[in-house]
């Protein structure tokens, strides 16, 4: 066998030797120019109005709004489901619009008004949507329910404001229908499949609003 024949063993040994020598070959000062995560990420102040109460937080800028609510403000009604914006369990209302709180950073909402499920109603004074979910059995395990309710409240506001959806037949006249409700709520997943009851609850609240 020729002495210069490249084998898998010699290739791996050579790669290991190059990797070991790499730090010594780096230009002077290169390591100092690359800050560590601890040095490059400082805590910053974030002010929010959550459920009508002003809060002042010192947060890592990478903290999601979901984690700020759950871990820092202990508002655990907002649930962490997929943590990828696919299930809707973390839905909250920010400045009147529903969002997936797992997909947005808390620092992006400095100064904003945030409403969570805790801010919609209390056991002694339920929000109409909370009461309707109970009346129509709009939940089973209950894990997705806070996000479902926050989303449902915002959906009715969207329709009342004339904001169209993908299934709106006439963009100049947005009206309430089951297809509108289903389309708008499609981002909130219920693994227990309580969807018909959720739509019934929303129709109930919408009827009360019209009355």
Q: Where are the beta strands (DSSP E) in 101-149?
A: 113-115
Query: What was the pLDDT predicted at 202?
Result: 98
Q: Which residues pair with 113 in a beta bridge?
A: 49
Which of 76, 74, 78, 75 lies closest to 87, judged by CA?
78
**DSSP per-residue letters across 48-105:** EEETTEEEEEEE-TT-BHHHIIIIIS--TTS--SSSSSSS-TTEEEETTEEEEGGGSB
Query: What was the pLDDT predicted at 152?
Result: 98
Query: What was the pLDDT predicted at 35?
Result: 39
Q: Which residues pair with 46 in a beta bridge?
A: 57
CA–CA dist 69, 118 (Å, integer): 11
CA–CA dist 145, 147 (Å, integer): 5
Q: What Å distances lie between residue 129 and 53, 58, 167, 205, CA to CA?
A: 22, 34, 23, 6
pTM of the model: 0.79
Full pLDDT tens readout for the chain, 211 residues = 444 555 666 655 665 555 555 455 445 544 444 434 445 559 999 999 999 999 999 999 999 999 999 999 999 999 999 999 999 999 999 999 999 999 999 999 999 999 999 999 999 999 999 999 999 999 999 999 999 999 999 999 999 999 999 999 999 999 999 999 999 999 999 999 999 999 999 999 999 765 4
Query: What was the pLDDT predicted at 208?
Result: 74
Q: Spell out the domains of the chain, with CATH numbers in brackets.
A: 41-120 (3.10.20.30), 121-211 (1.10.150.120)
Quick check: 159 and 174 in contact, CB under 8 A?
yes
Quick check: 192 and 141 in contact, CB under 8 A?
yes
């Amino acid at each position: 066998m020729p002495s210069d024949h490249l084998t898998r063993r010699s290739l791996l040994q050579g790669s290991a030797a190059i990797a070991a020598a790499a730090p010594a070959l780096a230009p002077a000062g290169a390591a100092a120019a690359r800050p560590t995560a601890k040095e490059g990420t400082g805590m910053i102040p974030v002010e929010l109005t959550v459920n009508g109460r002003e809060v002042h937080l010192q947060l890592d800028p990478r903290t999601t709004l979901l984690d700020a609510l759950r871990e820092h403000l202990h508002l655990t009604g907002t649930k962490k489901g997929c943590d990828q914006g696919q299930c809707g369990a973390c839905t909250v209302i920010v400045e009147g619009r529903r969002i997936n709180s797992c997909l947005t950073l808390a620092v992006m909402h400095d100064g904003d008004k945030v409403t969570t499920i805790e801010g919609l109603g209390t056991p002694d004074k339920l929000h109409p949507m909370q009461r309707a979910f109970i009346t129509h059995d709009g939940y089973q395990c209950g894990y997705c329910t806070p996000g479902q309710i926050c989303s449902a409240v915002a959906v009715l506001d969207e329709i009342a404001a004339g904001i169209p959806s993908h299934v709106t037949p006439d963009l100049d006249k947005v009206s309430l229908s089951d297809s509108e409700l289903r389309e708008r709520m499609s981002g909130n997943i219920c693994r227990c499949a309580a969807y018909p009851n959720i739509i019934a609850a929303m129709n109930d609240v919408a009827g009360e609003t019209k009355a």
